[in-house]
Amino acid sequence: MAAHMVDELAGINELSVSNWLEYDEIDWIRKCSKPFKKTLLHNYISFIFIEQNEYLLHKHLPIEVIMCLTDIMRKYGIDYSHLGNVEYSELEIDDVNDEIEDYGRKVFSFFLEKLEVIFVDDVFTVLFANKDFLYDFNSQIQELVRTLNQREHPELLRKNGVFKRVYLPQWLKKGVFMRDKGRCQICGTDLTKIFSLEKAENYDHIIPLEKGGTNDPVNFQLTCETCNKSKRDRNEDYNSLGSRYWDINE
């Protein structure tokens, strides 16, 4: 699913960020203004996942939905036996009848009720570690932010196309620190305080607010104070720096 999200963001089904927000009723401007645990990326993943399965059901392809979702539920240990015992294993993907279609809708509804939130968060966890994806996601949001008028959103914007700075909660700092393995994502300096107390940790916008960046959690990375001050609002440098677990050349 994470790999599918990469394709969707690239526009494989014309559901890049701007198109998504035309369909989805979400207050994206408010969500860009400060960190929420359920990020914009969570909303995007959820929309794509639901849209994908609803499309298959609408096109009378319930077996594809059933096979995918029941496989996921088995992996998560979710008991769905109360939905009934419908035999579909011998059928082709495009075989369909009323019983199978009804079962497909039941499976989908039950999945949304019991597992969708957890599943989406697990997909988010995979994508949150992919800096290239995050940069592309933020870049698409950036284009929308640049169109915002400060007079229409005075409580959120410092000026046209620029959100105000906000306080960063500890849960966000801890999550970014863990993802970035305690290293400055520009120069690679160790910020864990295990070996040195000299470098202070900073939480930097990947796309600066001055350039249309947001305060959504997916737009932050860990940097040292030196790199953060030198970067300021001039560029959009980012990396995925971390230590290897072992050296394969030894």
Q: What average pLDDT score do residues 188-209 get?
A: 84
Mean pLDDT of 132-136: 96
pLDDT at position 20 = 94
Distances (CA, A) of 18 to 28, 128, 135, 141: 11, 20, 15, 8
Residue linked to tokens 């700075």: 165
At 115-124, the pLDDT tens digits run 999 999 999 9
Interior/surface letters 72-92, b for 16+ CB within 10 angstroms, e for the rest: ebeeeeeebeeeeebebeebe
Give the percent of the chain with pLDDT over 90: 74
- Evaluate if residue 200 carries a pLDDT over 90: no
Closest CA relative to residue 221, chosen from 135, 126, 97:
135
- With a threshold of 0.85, does the pTM exceed it? yes
| C-alpha gyration radius of the chain | 21
Give the HSE-up count for residue 128: Cα atoms under 13 Å, Cβ half-sphere.
24
Start-to-end Cα distance in the chain: 35
The model's pLDDT over 201-247, given as tens digits with 9 standing for 90+, comes to: 999 999 999 999 999 999 999 999 888 887 666 566 676 766 667 77
Q: Per-residue pLDDT averaged across 89-114, rounded?
A: 87
pLDDT of residue 235: 64
pLDDT score recorded for residue 162: 98
Beta-bridge partners for 162: 159
Please give the C-alpha separations between residue 127 and each of 74, 102, 124, 133, 234, in angstroms, as whole numbers. 23, 33, 5, 7, 26
> Out of 162-171, 181-190, 224-233, which region has the weakest mean confidence (pLDDT)?
224-233
Alpha helix segments (H runs only) across the chain: 2-9, 17-23, 28-33, 40-58, 62-76, 98-114, 116-128, 131-145, 170-179, 225-231
Q: What is the phi/psi pair of residue 221, to 5°? A: -145, 160
**197 has pLDDT over 70:** no
